[in-house]
Amino acid sequence: MSKSLRWTREQTQALFEQPLLELLFSAQQIHRQHFDSRQIQVSTLLSIKTGSCPEDCKYCPQSARYKTGLAAEPLMEVELVLASARQAKAAGSSRFCMGAAWKNPQDRDLPYLEQMVAGVKALGMESCMTLGSLTDRQAQRLADAGLDYYNHNLDTSPEYYNKIITTRSYQERLDTLDKVRQAGIKVCSGGIVGLGESVTDRAELLMQLANLPAPPESVPINMLVKVAGTPLEHTEDVDPFDFIRTIAVARIMMPTSYVRLSAGREKMSEQTQAMCFMAGANSIFYGCKLLTTPNPAQNSDLKLFKKLGLNPENSVIEQTGSELVAQVNKQMLEADTELFYNAGR
C-alpha cells in the first residue's frame, strides 16, 4: 500500500480474518522484501525512574494507584545509567531504551536526560526514551541531544482506550507522537494485546498506527503481563495464535517498520516466538529489567537465536563463531547487578 493510501477498516478486518497460514505466508513475503529475515534488532530497556506514576493505566504496576508492592525509585544518576548502557552494549544490544514513569518530564529533568542521551550516543549505540507526554520544546531539546527514538504507545483502539486509561486522552498521545516527529526523532509506538479488547480493537489500533502521517519506525507489540494488584490482574489469557496473527497483520500494514516482540515474551514458548519471527517480528528487548517485569535471560535468547539461525543486527554478536557466543554468554551471566536483570540466576 502506498503512503498516500490509508488502510480502511474493511481491509484491516479482512487481514484478521485470513486463514492463519495464508496470512503468515503473506507477512513473510512482505518481510523479506524489506528486511534480512535472519537479522533481529536487539534493544535493551532500562527503567531510569520507577513507580509513583500519576497515570491510571490499568495494566501498569508503576501507577501510584495500584498496590503492586513495586518499590518507587527516583531518577537514576547519569553515570549509573551509562554503566548499564555499557553492559548492554557488551551483551550485544544496539539500542538502549530509557523509560521513566512520568506523566511528562519536568524541565528541571531535561539536563540529566540530555546527558544520558549524549552518553549513550558516545558509546556508539542508538538511544531511545519513553518519558510520557512532551512539549514541543522538550522534544526539540531531546532531538538536539541526539535522541534517535521516542517511545509513546497508543496501547489499544480509540474505542477501547477509555476502559484502560482515563488520565491521558488518546488525542494527547497522538499529539505527542506528532511533536516527536516534528522534532526529527524517530517514532516508536505500538500497543498491548490481552487487555480484554476485541479483534476489532486490535484492527483499529493497527489502523491508527499504519495511518499516521508516517508509520512508526518501530512498532512494539506487547502481550499483557498480568501483575498482581493491577485492575487487569485476572484478565483472560490470549491464545498465542491470536498474538501471532496480530504480529503478522502489523507486518503487512507497516512493511518497513521494525515490529518488536516486547513485554510478555518471557511467558512465550520458543515455538511461539519462532512463529512471531516468521510472522515478521524483527526486534526484541533483552537484558535489563523490561521496565519492571521479567524478560527472558539473555543467554536463552542467544540459544534461541542459534537454534533458529538468527543474528542480532548491528552488534558484536553478528560476526560470531561459537567462541564469541560463549564469551558474550559469559559476559551476560556475570552482568548481574541491581541494574541489570539476569533471570538465569
- Give the residue with the Cβ less far from ligand SF4, 105 or 215: 105
What is the residue whose three cell numbers read 497460514?
21
Strands (E), 101-198: 126-130, 149-151, 186-188, 191-193
Contact status, residue 49 vs residue 40, Cβ threshold 8 Å? no
Cβ density class 271-285: b for 16+ within 10 Å, e for less: ebbbbbbbbbbbbbb
Residues 203, 206: Cα–Cα separation, whole Å: 5
Please report, as a single letter, which amino acid is at residue 319: Q
Minimum distance from CB of 305 to ligand SF4 (Å)?
A: 29
Which residues from 130-149 bind ligand SF4, rule CB under 6 A? 132
Query: Taking CB under 6 A as the criterion, which residues in 52-71 touch ligand SF4?
Result: 53, 55, 57, 60, 62-63
Going by C-alpha positions, the residue among 257, 275, 255 that lies closest to residue 265 is 275
Q: Are 96 and 42 in contact (CB under 8 A)?
A: no
Q: Does residue 98 touch ligand SF4 according to CB under 6 A?
A: no
Give bridge partners of residue 63 from the DSSP assignment. 53
CB of 341 to ligand SF4, least distance (A): 18
Pick the closer one to ligand SF4 by CB: 63 or 282. 63
CB of 180 to ligand SF4, least distance (A): 16
Q: Closest separation between CB of residue 108 and ligand SF4, Å?
A: 19
To the nearest 10 degrees (0 to 180), the angle between helices 110-122 and 136-145 is 30
Shortest distance in whole angstroms from residue 55 CB to ligand SF4: 4
The answer to whether residue 101 forms part of the interface with ligand SF4 (CB under 6 A) is yes
Q: Which residues are catalytic?
A: 53, 57, 60, 97, 128, 188, 260
Binding annotation? 53, 57, 60, 97, 128, 188, 260
Beta bridge partners of 340: 337
Query: Which residue's CB is nearer to ligand SF4, number 132 or number 216?
Result: 132
| C-alpha cell at position 170 | 488518546
The residue (of 55 and 313) whose beta carbon lies closer to ligand SF4 is: 55
In the complex with ligand SF4, the residue whose CB is nearer, 132 or 296, is 132
The total number of residues written for the chain in this structure: 345
The site that binds ligand SF4 (CB under 6 A) totals a number of residues, namely 8
Measured from the CB of residue 100, what is the shortest distance to ligand SF4 in angstroms?
8
Nearest by Cα to 283 from 299, 262, 264 = 262
> Residue 310 and residue 306: Cα distance in Å, rounded?
6
Print the binding letters for residues 250-279 with ligand SF4: x by CB under 6 A, - otherwise: ------------------------------
Question: ∠ CA(142), CA(145), CA(146), 5° rounding?
Answer: 95
**Are 315 and 88 in contact, with CB atoms under 8 Å apart?**
no
Binding residues for [4Fe-4S] cluster: 53, 57, 60
Annotated binding site for [2Fe-2S] cluster: 97, 128, 188, 260
Q: Which is nearer to ligand SF4, 23 or 101 (CB)?
A: 101
Binding site for ligand SF4 (CB under 6 A): 53, 55, 57, 60, 62-63, 101, 132
